[in-house]
Structure 1
Amino acid sequence: MTILVIAEHDHATLKGATLHTIGAALKLQAAGAGDIHVLVAGHEAAGAAQAAAQVAGVAKVLHADGPAHAHALAENLAAQVLALAGGYSHILFPATAAGRNVAPRVAAKLDVAQLSDITAVIDAHTFERPIYAGNAIATVRSRDAQHVITVRTTAFDAAPAQGGHAAVESIPAVADGGKSRFVGEELAKSDRPELTAARVVVSGGRALGSAEKFNELITPLADKLGAAIGASRAAVDAGYAPNDWQVGQTGKIVAPELYVAVGISGAIQHLAGMKDSKVIVAINKDPEAPIFSVADYGLEADLFQAVPQLTQAL
């Protein structure tokens, strides 16, 4: 029962989601599954393959290097995984936009049910996953011979990036299937930490009232804390913040060490995206706001007075 983890990388280094997915694989291994192999499919991606080889717990790295993987097109990556799938009982993807794009293709071709967004490993065939926006946890057992799994990365500790000595095996890269082509990309550049990987996140809600107030209050506080900036869907819909800052069921799932929610009421969809944070601080003038039900520290106050005072105190 060997495990295959599909790595996400930038061709030079591994993304944090990969380390958390390997962390889930380690839980599977402890539950009775076999060795952990990591697939690094890329173009001139020797750096990422070497990084994967150093991760503690990894037994082997499979390095598929070719032009077809230059832009991580889902069709080509799925074909690469399927070329290897026969030797593995568990195939794990991070539950990121990229992982969710590839995993269903693999599951469909293997004619197995996908196990989505797992948050705990019970045994080699049984897992937990959230349903109803995280209000209930389903225990799912699969009788399929192979398990295609997406892993909620915030639910598992990252595997140590150092300490491993896995062998790197070069394997043939699949040819471009021609089903899609890379046209271009526009990447948002920021000096701040990536939202899903940040240790501290400061998020603002609709109560801030405008994009100007959002920037005036949230940005200085985030600067003082060295934090990534997030936003509720209401704030994004109102134009206070860009879409890629949205935290919640239809945005990004985060679990930082510290999450500061400013002017966020705590709708169930938002809580689904941040309630696993280690420490939650809520600032809201409504004592009945649902955010206080999950907050470790709550400040019932006018955010327009409290946030500048907090920023100044820091």
Structure 2
Amino acid sequence: MDVAIEEKTRTFIQVSEIWVPDGDTLIHGGGSYGDLGAFEAASVRESFALGEGLPGKAWAEGSPVVLKEFDGSYFKRTEVATEAGLTAAVAIPVFDGKTLMAVLVVLCGDDDEHVGAIEVWEETDKLLMLKDGYYGAAKHFEWVSRHTHFPIGQGLPGGVWSSDTPMLFRDLGAGYRFIRADSAGKAGLTTGLGLPVPVPDGATFVLTLLSARGTPIARRFEIWDARRQKVGKAGGAVLVDGVCERNGPLWTDENISAPRTAARNQGNIGKVLATGLPVIVSGTPKFTEGYDTMVALPIYGDGDIAHIVAWYV
């Protein structure tokens, strides 16, 4: 059985939280706050109307939203966030067709040590252009990214766009498929997760999470295929790709004949399948593969969950 990790490292994402619809507002649906107790206490009491605050803005705009500065913005918890050292956030809406299921919000701090990237790419004139992103201290990589675009099928964002499925890239600094490999290597970025973000108006958005060793977004990534033809009539999900800092590849061509599966209500992935909502689990390593926190995010397609992506810190 996996054991808890002894070495603790600072993570690029410091807070993850879920906001779920309750009538005409969004209410707190769980989260992971580490030792930021005051920010957690303020958050669980909060709610957001359509267009209000960061979760409400993602709901109203029907798209992912990056907010890189809280002061003077529409962010509602600025004072307590500043006291906690949080300076930037990304809101990711989860839509089933035109119905909002939840909004996942991740929050980061800004200093000279945190390196990583959370990017939102948007299709414009048959190219994916950077809508916005947060990069921490990776300033040169940010500059390169803002001057890069992707045709369909090219690079991690273009690959996700072409396949309409989540994708994992390893060894970003050396990978020939990663267009920004040179600048990624210099920034210390190692692993990239890309996923489509379906929205009601059919626009194309791709979210990329790029992780570095020193301040990782995650130490373990998983991609699950939840399309019914993969798991039979009962429904469920099959692990189709994954990588773990401790265990290496979680899925290979050699073990494809005996895939890892999850049924509805079986473990954390099964909870996502059963509820249709993101899941955040923290403080119980025996339920999170030995890690402190696990985030699982559903991606809808054709009226049901098509994929689930999960990351562990």
Please, what TM-score do these two structures have when normalized by structure 1?
0.24
Query: Which has the larger Rg?
Result: 1
- Which has more strand, going by share of residues? 2
Please, what TM-score do these two structures have when normalized by structure 2?
0.24
